[in-house]
Amino acid sequence: MSEQRSERRTIGVVGTGVIGAGWSVRVLARGHDVVAWDPAPGAEERLRDAVDRAWPSATRLGLFAGADRARLSFADSAEELASRVDWIQESAPENEDVKRPLLRTLAANAGPDVVIASSSSGLLPTRLQEGCDHPERILIGHPFNPVYLLPLVEIVAGEQTSPAALDAAHAHYDDLVMHPLLVRTEIEGYLSDRLQEALWREVLHLVNDGVASTQELDDAVAYGPGLRWAGMGSNLTFHLAGGEQGMRHMLRQFGPTLKLPWTKLVAPELTDELVEAMADGCLEQADGRSIAELERLRDDYVINVMRALRPLDLGAGRIVAEREARIHEASLAAPWTSGDAIDAPLDLYRGEVEPDWVDYNGHMSEWAYLTAFGWASDKFFRFIGIDEDYRSSGHSFFTAETHINYQREASLGEPLRVTTQVLGVDAKRLHFFHAMAHAVTGEPLATTEQMLLHVDMKAGRTAPILEGPAAALAAVAAAHADLDIPPQVGRVMSLG
């Protein structure tokens, strides 16, 4: 059985419910052709609608060259589909009495080298292979919803599955940019669903016993362990809970709680052999990294996950937004009032290089400089009286032009200080300059020059700056009138 190649291929999707539709989107986004079949009335229309709904998300994740929804076609029968494709992904209902005859039909009409993978979430492949032509090419390829986004796929072999089929499956799912996880022991429910099922059964017990609501139980995951699980599973997470001695110490310290009635599940006996197997496994996962290194890695990805949720106002992202707002409010300079002294330049923003601001070189990314300057601009606007109330009245500044000059790399955690100089202001325009420096050494890091237009958002056109901010800007401009014009102002790119 030959290894799957990366050129354009034709993938058969049998069963077009949630999982089959997800497979279709993932394959189409990869730039391959999909031939689908489902005996249910109206299946083709529902599949095309599902693909259309998911396509924006697949696009955000990234489309390969040639990705096109027009490459989806619908077969008239399972027999026809099997004869036309290079790979078959069966996603029929999770019922052995449905899957077994379907797989026999597919196997009887597909070429002997065509792998047939079932999306089953718990059935045993050995039983699904029975009675099939060339059973050695039949295996489990268990995905997770939404298939077009989540990369995990569990590969499970039956007693007759050949090594060549497993190699082909690994290559196929790798080609679809997934994480193929080989389940080495054929077991009902495989790996991930057994873990999910344990949590799910406990949820049902807690709700049934009146202990907690579904919302409270979801919050118990989403605001805590779920964030850690995004980058490390339970094992490495608990490895860190053991301090410098890792999992071995964690089990010795917390192992006795396994006897407590914390769950409806019965824990296995914590033998020395089990302790050593857990400890050795975690050390292998750590791959030479110390607890301190793993803690830093965990902290970085948890922050990134929480910040990714921030614009959605979801879960821990909402908490991050609230934290930022409180920090922002606590660090605001008092809004200018007539007669107040004005620094020249203004010194309103201090922060540090955040974990999600750095690139693969460990340096602050280009876009992150603009983000930091944006925070400085927000401080400045609030200083002159432009806040949420001002914007809710329908007025705001819109950026018309921005020039950034990068002077030195900034690394993770470095302290930042941004000063602001007003270069000019009139009835509708504001011209200012930010200078970013290392907050301790004073070493210049970057500058930006910006021209902004004051806009009446309801009318959709420029408009005079309202009285309060206009007076503040006039006072700042007067205080900054004697400052030297920075050399970066008005600079243009040129080779000559």
Q: Is the pLDDT of residue 2 over 80?
A: no
Binned at pLDDT 50, 70 and 90, residue 6 comes out as: low
Give the residue-averaged pLDDT of 21-27.
Answer: 96
User: At a CB cut-off of 8 Å and minimum separation 6, what does 138 contact?
Assistant: 103, 107, 115, 116, 117, 118, 125, 128, 129, 132, 158, 160, 161, 165
Total number of domains in the chain: 3
120: helix, strand or coil: coil
On whether both 341 and 402 belong to a single domain, the answer is: yes
338 shares a domain with 291: no
pLDDT (mean) for 317-327? 76
pLDDT the model gives residue 322: 79
Same domain (yes/no): 251, 172: no
pLDDT digits (tens, 9 = 90+) for 114-146: 999 999 999 999 999 999 999 999 999 999 999
Structural domain contains residue 213: no
- Over residues 400-416, mean pLDDT: 93
Confidence of residue 108 (pLDDT cuts 50, 70, 90): very high
Task: Give pLDDT tens digits for 372-392.
Answer: 999 999 999 999 999 888 999
CB 418 within 8 A of CB 435: yes
418: domain CATH number is 3.10.129.10
Let me know if residue 461 belongs to a domain: yes
Question: Residue 9 pLDDT more than 90?
Answer: yes
Report the pLDDT averaged over residues 211-235. Answer: 88
User: Comparing 496 with 286, which gets the higher pLDDT?
Assistant: 286
Give the per-residue pLDDT at 379.
92
Does residue 178 fall inside a structural domain?
yes
Instruction: Examine residue 50 and state whether it is found in any structural domain, yes or no.
Output: yes
Residue 205 inside a domain? The answer is no
Same domain, 60 and 183: yes
The reported pLDDT for the residue numbered 245 is 87
Position 318 scores a pLDDT of 84
Domain boundary among 250, 270, 305: 305
DSSP class of 358: B
Q: Are residues 16 and 142 in the same domain?
A: yes
In percent, the amount of the chain with pLDDT more than 70 equals 97
Looking at the structure, do residues 282 and 340 belong to the same domain, yes or no?
no
* Environment class of 380 (CB within 10 Å of its CB; exposed 0-12, middle 13-18, buried 19+): buried
The token pair that represents 267 in the structure block: 């824990």
Domain of residue 32, CATH code: 3.40.50.720
The pLDDT assigned to 327 comes to 65
Q: Tell me if 218 is assigned to some domain.
A: no
Bigger pLDDT: 231 or 453?
453
Q: Which amino acid is at 203?
A: V
Distance CA 217, CA 204 (A): 10
Residues 262, 367 within the same domain: no
Residue 61: phi and psi, rounded to 5, are -70, -35
Q: What is the mean pLDDT of residues 217-233?
A: 88
Closest CA to 49 of 36, 60, 39: 36
- Span 279-306, average pLDDT: 86
pTM comes to 0.74
What per-residue confidence (pLDDT) applies to 487? 95
Shared-domain flag, residues 365 and 233:
no
373 and 475 both lie in a single domain: yes
Whether 202 maps to a domain, the answer reads no
- Same domain? 253 vs 397: no
204 within some domain: no
Percent of the chain with pLDDT over 90: 65
DSSP states of 63-109: PPTT--GGGEEE-SSHHHHHHH-SEEEE---S-HHHHHHHHHHHHHH
From 190, 212, 247, the end of a domain falls on 190
CA-CA distance, 157 to 171, in Å (whole number)? 15
> Does 3 or 391 have the greater pLDDT score?
391
pLDDT band of residue 3 (cuts 50, 70, 90) is: very low
Q: Which of 53-57, 69-73, 234-238 has the highest mean pLDDT?
A: 69-73
| Average of per-residue pLDDT values in the chain | 91
Strand bridging mode 444-456 / 429-438: antiparallel
Question: Which of 258, 287, 305 corresponds to the end of one domain?
Answer: 305
- Alpha carbon 403 to chain centroid distance? 31
C-alpha span between 370 and 55 (Å, rounded): 30
Q: Same domain for 387 and 461?
A: yes
Lowest mean pLDDT among 170-184, 312-326, 472-486: 312-326
Query: Is 258 in the same domain as 297?
Result: yes
Identify the residue with better confidence: 339 or 26: 26
What is the rounded average pLDDT of the residues 220-239? Answer: 87
Mean pLDDT of 298-321: 83
Whether residue 282 has pLDDT greater than 90: no
Residues 233-244 have a mean pLDDT of 86
| pLDDT tens track for 28-66 | 999 999 999 999 999 999 999 999 999 999 998 889 999
Tell me the residue range of the domain where 83 lies. Answer: 10-190
Residues 261-286 have a mean pLDDT of 85
Q: Which two tokens stand for residue 123?
A: 């059935």
Check whether 112 has a pLDDT greater than 50. Answer: yes
